[in-house]
Structure 1
Amino acid sequence: MKKSLSSIFSIVILVFTATQDCSVKDWDYEQNPKLTYDLNHLDLDMTIDPVNETVKGVATYSISAKIPAQTEVILHAAALEIDAVTFDGNEKEFLVSGDSLIIDLADTLSMTNESELAITWQGRSIYGTHKDRFGTMWSSLNPKSQRHWLPVYDHPRVAFSVDADITIPANLDVVFNGNLVSDQVTSTETKTVSWKVDTAIPATGLNFAVGKFESSEAQSGINKVRVFGETGVVTGDEIQEILSEAIRSKRVLENELSFEYPWEALNVVILEDNFWDEKADAAGVIYLAKNRGALTTQLQRGLVAQWFGQYQRTENVTYQYEVFELIRKSAFNISGFESKEIGNSDSLFSLSKWNELSRCCEIEDPFLKNNIEQSLAGLIRKESGVVSGSFYKDHWYEQTGIPFHLIDFEADKEPETPDNQKLVYGLDLEYDEINSTIIAYFTSVSGSGEDLQSLNVTVFTFNDSTTSEVTFTGGRDSAKIDVPATVENVRFSSGSTDIAEIGFGRFPVMFLLAQLRSSNVEDRRLAASLLSYHTDNPDLQLALKDALNAETDVQTKANLLSTLGAFTAGATGTEIQFMQEVNSDHEEIQIAALKALANYKEDENVPGVIQQKMERTSSDEVFKVAKTSFLEVADLPRKISATRRLIQIDTTGARSLSLLKEIISTDTTTQSQQIAEELISFEFPYSTRIGALDLLLEHVEDGDYWGSKIVELSSDFDPRIRSKVLEGLKFLSETDAENIAEAVLLSEFDLRVLNGESD
């Protein structure tokens, strides 16, 4: 029996919170923690192995006491293996408890002189670091993630300068905070890259990325700006565009805020996906996710966050989303940046807030809106480091007397009129040759039809034309138009009614054939389409073929081909022309031919022709049409075979997945399930993996299968996959579900996974 997933999670979370460090329960940092010493500098000697997803090294902190008689130091080290701790060169005893590293100094910590505290560690964490299908490995930007790859006091109140020597595979690159100092090959397999940060940065702003990058750099004032693009994800031109925009936007923000960029360097990293990280910024580092689109907007949000989020930061993470997104939008307004929505298919809370502000919801009161926007320059000079949870709200209240929770935002923009409510009329035409009259029949397809409508109609003869107005209203109406006996065809155009709101139907054949000879290409295109209403006149096929041979306009030829397909309707022996046109140089003609081939269900050659087009086309639109026709003419074994074949051709798996969605419900074998299993593998992007997982959750109900699958994917690098697969618990018995969930979640640190959140 299927069970409520939430009920299973409620039991497991109770077990979890009883055995796991409670500091993991939320993302907010401890308010004003006991911190009786200063970490002034970090010498970091670190080795990163993306193949084995490990980070190891020695972190040496220059430390001094704030108050006397300090004999103990506590750092954070979540799921890290601590190999040794030394204090001024002498080994010290230590204890790891939960995510805390407790170090007994024996001697007191000096208040006047710095000592060196060195921790040797190693670790592998799917919460602290990410790794994508290209082999790129980077540290998570989510709160409390630094402690999962580095022993550190992981809190926004701790800041220090850094000298980092990072050893990586020789064929890769590494990005870190600050400035690149040197890049030296140390062996045939490794190299050591040195980075330097002289201006103290918050411990929560530490970050690294290792992978194959294309890069470009330039100087912006006293700051070096570098852009690193993941190879195979962005082009050199895109990297250059982002570099130019980064320099321009940085300069604009400096001018508007009257405050210099707060860090020594700006490093921008462009990846395919950011793996559900709520934050996209570290201290002097910005991450852009190609799959989310709006790269310039992502860049500019990250730039604003360097002032409001890094230079000024809070201990309350939830507060950051509420206030910092408003600050970002206000900074965009004063800087003249365009606020675009950013792709958020995985429902990041921060992006939901941003998209809401971008889509609508400016502050309603112009004075209050202007006050907040103009306050930013003063606020950034007022304090640095950690600011209180009410710092911004209190300032705005002092200026306006309006509490933050009473700020009114504009209502969401009115949604577009649904298609079924838009004004659309159908128009059919009848020619009374005896009385030299045209009768236009108007039928309301959607919309109220209450208002009076009008169109202009031009009547063409051999050597003349006249234009008049025709009016109509209501659900059904007709209008008579007197025409000369020598009329050849007519053309309708916009009057008070947009011609785009008119759907043309059956017109007299003689008019349409005359239109096919018109010098006006739009007339020919329309006539070529409307002849499809006359399939009861088989003699027109010859005229259509003649017109196809004579026509030079691609869209008109495509429309003629579509109409010819309606005439032939899959008749044996008529498929050759369509099979040939599938390989036309023009997409419009390919699409028309593919649509026509959907009628040839009995021809054994047609499925192969369409499948070949699916495999070879680079056009998503052509593929979509080809897929639709293929599903009409191919049998199930061929559909399954084509789906497997597409996996080998399309490295994203998106096309294979789109075909799999259409066939999995009719496949009584396990072949579709096996294909979905393959598409879940880590070599495919998130959109494909989550789509395949959704299909399995919809079509596979075997408890044993899901028990194994949950355990298998519990170590996946993508937290969205780890979260989604837990929906399979509903197929297990209550006891099995609780046992598996408990075992899996005890090693899980992502709160969204723990809370059962998924798309």
Structure 2
Amino acid sequence: MSGIYGLSYFLKRKPLFIVLILGGILSAPAQALFAQSFDYERYPKLDFDFTHMQLEMGLQPQNMRMNGAVTYQVKANISGADTVTLYAAHMEISAASVDGERVEFQLKNDSLLIPLLEPAERGQNHEIWVRYSTTPGFGLLKNNNGTVWTSQLPRAQRHWVPILDNPHVAMPTDLKISVPAEFTAWATGRKVGEEAVNEEVTQYNFVSKTDIPASELAFAIGNFQSQSTTFGIKRINMAVEQEPSGEVDLQQLLQQSYDWLGKVETEMQSEFPYERLNIVIMNDHGWETKSWGGGTIFIYQNRGSLQHQLLRGIIGQWIGSSQRAAQWSEADAITLYQTLVQQSMTGSTPTLDVQDLPRQSTPSVYDVFGPERWNAWQQQWLQWKEQSKAWMISDTHPGMLEQLSPVVQWSDYADLWYQKSGQPMFEIPRLTVAHDTSAADTTVADSVIYRVRYNRDLAGESITLGFEAVQGGYDELKTLRLHKVYAEGIETGEVTFTGLSDSVTVSVSPDIRTLRLEVPQELRLGIEEHKPVPFLIYELRNAESLNQRVRAARNLGKHTDNPDLQLAIVDALEGNVEPDVRAALLMSLADITRGAAGTEQLFLEALQSESRLVQKAGLKALQNYPESVEIQKRVRQMTASTNHIAIFKQGISVLSGIATQEELDAFLSEVARRDTVGYRSVAAIRQLASKGETGMLTEAERFLGGSYDYGVRQEALEVLTEYDENAQNWLQRGRELLTESRDPRIRFLVVRGLLQHQNSEIVSFLSEYLSDEYDARVYRAISEGMR
């Protein structure tokens, strides 16, 4: 029996994870230390054309053990070719055959060499069969729900199936995937079968008669809810994890995918290139950057708008999959065209959220499809559009799908652009990439920041703007738009400034309501404005945008020398203001009152608000009342009962200032022992450690396991990195987590902790481990961090 369960049938159908004991199992030799390659080979030597793939594979999600058998139909491209080469990273190959006859094979540096019985003639067909086992350390991801899915990073497929996973290789596929009966599976192609192998195992069968790029094979295994709809003679399937972090309206998204699929077909002037579109919605991105494969889209709930991700993935089926980059290092033209199509369809340039990433992560070739670079293209597109390049790109992309081979690079596109427009654009634009790991906001640490003070003359006929560099600075003149707001309308002009400090005086009428600066979108400049109180009060009441009203409310707190503001803020709080504005007003009021007796009632009332922002503002203000027993009691009650980690962190921060050390230690120790989710425990452990109480650090260890979500594990590792200085603890931690964790973010954080506490043993361990790390970001962190 050629399938993966051939042996287990004869062994009374033992569970999936039994290791095959067929004779002659040969393990891959230990890999010598060498510089890893993390991009595809640009022009691989292809002695054979792969014309079909049939895979029978079993996966046990619990231990990630895989057993499989893969069959390829190949056709010789040249005469004299005598060896078929497949990539098989860290695999155990038990047998191989050519045209039904067993052959001796070799494993060399993750390459599987299968000799033909005799040299091939050009055009001659052969059948190659391989049986293998593996426990991938790369190429498959697993989250805390037990869901397993395939990475779409370069060279990922070779870790779970012997294959030539290069964008130059594409073929029809027949995938049979066997999983525990409590799981369901989705994979590349159309589902043609679902069969119970026994009470414990179900086999799913997915077939694609259309060529699928070998570098874009995909599957997902987990507990999914799913819905489907037809699209012409094709079908759209959508599945979502059963325990999503937020509500997902499958029916609405399915209808959206149907509508957009038709619109993109019209835009591209060509049919959807695959037989099925399978969309899988996951809770966490797992540090993946490319979210589409051939006929597959992965959507992540912590990557921003699901609708935006969906449209990007649909566009990616044409430009990104059907037409794909030979190397990721030259894939910017793919993202440019994706930006063009989505902009033409929606009239907007939406960004992706940048969150749940390791802080200070290492740049790599993977970034080309990452959220930061996508966001940078959205900003860059505005400039290209202003330079009238949109028409030229728009006119070329429909015919481009037919003119270019499926594998392309920037210069290939540039040739077409030049033929169309005579514009030489062979240089990839320099993008300003915002590496912000906390939110979707594109403001970053390396932005330039100026403080701007508004000083009005006594006559009210002029205002002097004083520019002072707070972070960075400009050596050349920069221009901002200036809006003078009057009762009868707005006058718009410009102001220019330069250097570390500068001042500009503008004339105004005495009845001016406020003055507003507008920063051009392409200028990465942050401004901290210090405006007169009348301007702030006007903006609080009349500004058009919520952000402007919030800034005005918060900036009132900078005028602590104005006692009359307290009454104005209280009056504003009695009105119907948005939660964001109310929170900002409370913080400003706290700055002005500074814990004065009799002013705490508004802050206590804020604790009852339904808005977490307002609750946090109220909590923060209460730290100004350290003598009040009642306030300490209320803060302790709220901190102990809240389910929101942000409120909990704010609460313990306040308690650390108003409770005795003994009271705080007892409270936090109890929280750390009783919490099972993890966030509260880790926050409590951090607070204790910051006060010198490191006895609870061992409790953080239990939150490093894969059953906790990434945020908890990240917080625990960062606490240990900061406070656990024992190198032996880190060595043991590294040996366990670098081997066991399928999440590259966790491996990255562990490596950072090891490097921060490195000694000769840690350096020796990392040097030995390095050749087994296939994620470019983790690899670079190790290789660049060892001293």
Deviation (angstroms), 1:666: 2.0
**Residues 85-106 of structure 1: per-residue CA shift (max 9 Å, x gap):** 2333332221111111111232
Deviation (angstroms), 1:174: 0.8
Task: Tell me which residue corresponds to 1:515.
Answer: none
Q: 8 Å contact 2:40–2:166 — kept in the other structure?
A: no
Relative to structure 1, the CA distance from residue 693 to residue 444 in structure 2 (aligned partners, 3 Å threshold; closer, same or farther) is farther
The separation in 2 between residues aligned to 1:588 and 1:329, in whole angstroms, is: 34
Task: Tell me which residue corresponds to 1:273.
Answer: 284
Q: CA RMSD in A?
A: 4.9
Q: 8 Å contact 1:214–1:236 — kept in the other structure?
A: no
Relative to structure 1, the CA distance from residue 535 to residue 738 in structure 2 (aligned partners, 3 Å threshold; closer, same or farther) is closer
Report the 3-state secondary structure (helix = DSSP H, G, I; strand = E; otherwise coil) of the residue aligned with 2:39: coil
Relative to structure 1, the CA distance from residue 408 to residue 364 in structure 2 (aligned partners, 3 Å threshold; closer, same or farther) is farther
Report the 3-state secondary structure (helix = DSSP H, G, I; strand = E; otherwise coil) of the residue aligned with 2:117: coil
Deviation (angstroms), 1:236: 5.7
Say which is worse superposed, 722-731 or 198-207, in terms of deviation. Answer: 722-731
2:350 is matched with which residue: 305, 326, 340? 340
Could you list the runs of 5+ residues in structure 2 that have no partner in the other structure?
1-28, 358-362, 435-441, 469-481, 488-502, 518-528, 535-548
Q: 8 Å contact 1:246–1:299 — kept in the other structure?
A: yes
- Give yes or no for the alignment of 1:350 onto 2:369: yes
2:190 is matched with which residue: 179, 198, 201? 179
Task: Tell me which residue corresponds to 2:32.
Answer: 19
Matches within 5 A, 1:21-420: 24-36=36-48, 38-107=49-118, 114-233=125-244, 237-320=248-331, 322-336=332-346, 338-345=348-355, 346=357, 348-351=367-370, 352-361=372-381, 362-363=383-384, 366-387=387-408, 390-406=411-427
The separation in 2 between residues aligned to 1:118 and 1:580, in whole angstroms, is: 71
The separation in 1 between residues aligned to 2:646 and 2:693, in whole angstroms, is: 30
Deviation (angstroms), 1:44: 1.7
**Residues 235-267 of structure 1: per-residue CA shift (max 9 Å, x gap):** 564333332222222211111111111011111
Relative to structure 1, the CA distance from residue 246 to residue 648 in structure 2 (aligned partners, 3 Å threshold; closer, same or farther) is farther
Q: 8 Å contact 1:94–1:104 — kept in the other structure?
A: yes
The separation in 1 between residues aligned to 2:591 and 2:334, in whole angstroms, is: 58
Deviation (angstroms), 1:123: 0.7
Relative to structure 1, the CA distance from residue 721 to residue 576 in structure 2 (aligned partners, 3 Å threshold; closer, same or farther) is same
Matches within 5 A, 1:605-624: 606-617=631-642
In the comparison of the two structures, how many residue pairs are matched?
674
Relative to structure 1, the CA distance from residue 711 to residue 592 in structure 2 (aligned partners, 3 Å threshold; closer, same or farther) is closer
Deviation (angstroms), 1:640: 5.1
Q: 8 Å contact 1:161–1:200 — kept in the other structure?
A: yes
Deviation (angstroms), 1:445: 11
- Report the structure number with the largest CA radius of gyration: 1
Deviation (angstroms), 1:160: 1.7
Aligned-partner residue type, residue 689 of structure 2: I
**Residues 595-626 of structure 1: per-residue CA shift (max 9 Å, x gap):** 56434434556445323323444667755654
Aligned-partner residue type, residue 354 of structure 1: W
Q: 8 Å contact 1:363–1:407 — kept in the other structure?
A: no
Task: Tell me which residue corresponds to 1:750.
Answer: 775
Percent of pairs identical after alignment?
25
Deviation (angstroms), 1:659: 5.7
Aligned-partner residue type, residue 718 of structure 1: D
Deviation (angstroms), 1:580: 8.1
Report the 3-state secondary structure (helix = DSSP H, G, I; strand = E; otherwise coil) of the residue aligned with 1:291: coil
Deviation (angstroms), 1:52: 0.9
**Residues 334-358 of structure 1: per-residue CA shift (max 9 Å, x gap):** 3335322213354634223221111
Aligned-partner residue type, residue 230 of structure 2: Q
Report the 3-state secondary structure (helix = DSSP H, G, I; strand = E; otherwise coil) of the residue aligned with 2:772: coil
Relative to structure 1, the CA distance from residue 178 to residue 653 in structure 2 (aligned partners, 3 Å threshold; closer, same or farther) is same
Relative to structure 1, the CA distance from residue 30 to residue 96 in structure 2 (aligned partners, 3 Å threshold; closer, same or farther) is farther
Relative to structure 1, the CA distance from residue 171 to residue 401 in structure 2 (aligned partners, 3 Å threshold; closer, same or farther) is same
The separation in 2 between residues aligned to 1:744 and 1:82, in whole angstroms, is: 22
Say which is worse superposed, 204-213 or 740-749, in terms of deviation. Answer: 740-749
Task: Tell me which residue corresponds to 1:511.
Answer: none
Report the 3-state secondary structure (helix = DSSP H, G, I; strand = E; otherwise coil) of the residue aligned with 1:292: coil
**Residues 438-460 of structure 1: per-residue CA shift (max 9 Å, x gap):** x99x9999779xx999988xxxx
Q: 8 Å contact 1:138–1:208 — kept in the other structure?
A: yes
Relative to structure 1, the CA distance from residue 311 to residue 384 in structure 2 (aligned partners, 3 Å threshold; closer, same or farther) is farther
Say which is worse superposed, 707-716 or 676-685, in terms of deviation. Answer: 676-685
Relative to structure 1, the CA distance from residue 606 to residue 678 in structure 2 (aligned partners, 3 Å threshold; closer, same or farther) is farther
Q: 8 Å contact 2:678–2:712 — kept in the other structure?
A: yes
The separation in 2 between residues aligned to 1:728 and 1:303, in whole angstroms, is: 39
Task: Tell me which residue corresponds to 1:3.
Answer: none
The separation in 1 between residues aligned to 2:618 and 2:516, in whole angstroms, is: 34
Relative to structure 1, the CA distance from residue 637 to residue 331 in structure 2 (aligned partners, 3 Å threshold; closer, same or farther) is farther
Deviation (angstroms), 1:379: 0.2
The separation in 1 between residues aligned to 2:251 and 2:636, in whole angstroms, is: 39
Task: Tell me which residue corresponds to 2:728.
Answer: 704
Q: 8 Å contact 2:76–2:120 — kept in the other structure?
A: yes
Deviation (angstroms), 1:109: 5.1
2:748 is matched with which residue: 723, 727, 732? 723
Relative to structure 1, the CA distance from residue 755 to residue 580 in structure 2 (aligned partners, 3 Å threshold; closer, same or farther) is closer
The separation in 2 between residues aligned to 1:221 and 1:751, in whole angstroms, is: 41
